[in-house]
Amino acid sequence: MKTTDLQDLIDWEAIMPMPRCAGGHDKQMRGLFKGATVLAHWNDGKYSGTVATAVRLKDGRYCWYQDSYGSCSGCDAWEYAKAEDVRALCIRLACDASVFDTRMEMLADMRKKDPASWRNEAGHELAGMIESNMEKTWKANE
């Protein structure tokens, strides 16, 4: 489910002073929403590629979002971005995020296979990280 209400949760005070550089904007992805708990974060680590994050929002909902990145200012929108560009990039991330009431709904969405989508690899990687952490938590609580 896509929603626009996430724009109100963007942590502008944290995002705006963050460094703006190419290569995945990991800090911005992890810190996008105020009060959110990061469940998993993945950067494919390539010269240019995909970065994705899954969070539990302060209100208890779950969401995941992803973006692409480049290696220089010519191919990465975050490199040397002006304040208005950063605002637009964050709003786009928030509007494109998939939001769910439960963690299991989010995991099911991440595991969907769509041959025409670049979401597959990011979703599968995030789901694997979350499931691994859930398993460790269950074993620790046995």
Neighbours of 24 (CB within 10 A): 26
The pLDDT value given to residue 122: 85
Tens of pLDDT along the chain (142 residues)? 555 689 999 999 999 998 877 666 888 999 999 999 999 999 887 777 888 999 999 999 999 999 888 776 667 677 778 899 999 999 999 999 999 999 999 999 998 877 556 567 888 889 999 998 876 655 555 4
The pLDDT value given to residue 22: 62
Domain extent listing, the chain: 5-140
The pLDDT value given to residue 121: 81
Quote the tokens at residue 59. 């209100």
8 A C-beta contact, residue 42 and residue 129? yes
The pLDDT value given to residue 1: 53
Best CA proximity match to 30, nearest among 93, 121, 109: 93
SS3 per-residue string spanning the chain: CECCHHHHHECHHHHCCCCCCCCCCHHHHHCCECCCEEEEEEECCCCCEEEEEEEECCCCCEEEEEEEECCCCCCCCCCCCCHHHHHHHHHHHHHHCEEECCHHHHHHHHHCCCCCCCHHHHHHHHHHHHHHHHHHHHHHCC
Give 104: exposed, middle or buried? Use CB within 10 Å, 0-12, 13-18, 19+. exposed
- Separation of alpha carbons 29 and 42, rounded Å: 10
